[in-house]
Chains A and B, each alone.
Chain A
Amino acid sequence: GEDVEQSLFLSVREGDSSVINCTYTDSSSTYLYWYKQEPGAGLQLLTYIFSNMDMKQDQRLTVLLNKKDKHLSLRIADTQTGDSAIYFCAESIRNTGKLIFGQGTTLQVKP
């Protein structure tokens, strides 16, 4: 079945770049997403990438997609303390609208 894997924890210093990695299994996914969740809150859509794209940049966020290896990454440039949160990657299942989420990566930003 479909599966999405993420590393569980990442710690960086303020001002550094953060790279959060994700692997997925469903090669027919149409979109891949990155969501951010702060403590006690819902999910905030950060960015998404269509499956036929290799890269997408949106201000401090860069998404890289390696479709051959089914690998997705999110790079946050100039990481700030406000970026501390849990980051979920998710793949959409074609024709169902369903999302399969990874376990979430906790990003800790040290001042």
Chain B
Amino acid sequence: GAVVSQHPSWVICKSGTSVKIECRSLDFQATTMFWYRQFPKQSLMLMATSNEGSKATYEQGVEKDKFLINHASLTLSTLTVTSAHPEDSSFYICSGTSGRVRTDTQYFGPGTRLTVL
């Protein structure tokens, strides 16, 4: 149980275009979803926290107009990287948590590798 999927698993796009990444909780309702960014051989950096039906809360230094997060339902959150540039190339990972599954435990998706040319 507690499976999270992400789509696409990898994407290559041209500089200046926008890319949308989906995060779905498949067998539980994720009241809260988190978006992380991971650079090669580094740890996960929390970008934002989103609660279903509310605006996302962004961490310091993360541009909310560049990384648009929508959490429209209890099973789906999306991250849109707008006007992507090569420095946005990274591994993006989402996670979901629900009090019904286990308090505070986050279940992670497999990640999406974004390459901006």
Question: Quick check: is A52 within 8 A (CB to CB) of the other chain?
Answer: no
- B residues neighboring A (CB under 8 Å): 4, 6, 32, 34, 42-44, 46, 49, 93, 95, 97, 103-111, 113
Least CB distance, B1 to chain A, in whole angstroms: 11
Chain B positions within 8 Å of A31 at CB level:
103-105
Contact flags A56-85 to B (C-beta < 8 A → 1, else 0): 000000000000000000000000000000
Please report whether the interface of chain B is mostly helix, strand, loop or mixed according to DSSP: strand
- A residues neighboring B (CB under 8 Å): 30-31, 33, 35, 40-45, 48, 88, 92, 96-99, 101-104
Assess whether B93 is in contact with A42, with CB atoms less than 8 Å apart: yes
Chain A positions within 8 Å of B104 at CB level:
30-31, 92, 97
How distant is the Cα of A50 from the Cα of B44 in the complex, in angstroms? 22
How distant is the Cα of A101 from the Cα of B95 in the complex, in angstroms? 14
How distant is the Cα of A108 from the Cα of B103 in the complex, in angstroms? 32
Least CB distance, A77 to chain B, in whole angstroms: 24
Assess whether B107 is in contact with A98, with CB atoms less than 8 Å apart: no
- In the A-B complex, the 6 residue pairs with the closest CB atoms: A43-B108, A42-B110, A42-B108, A42-B111, A92-B104, A101-B43
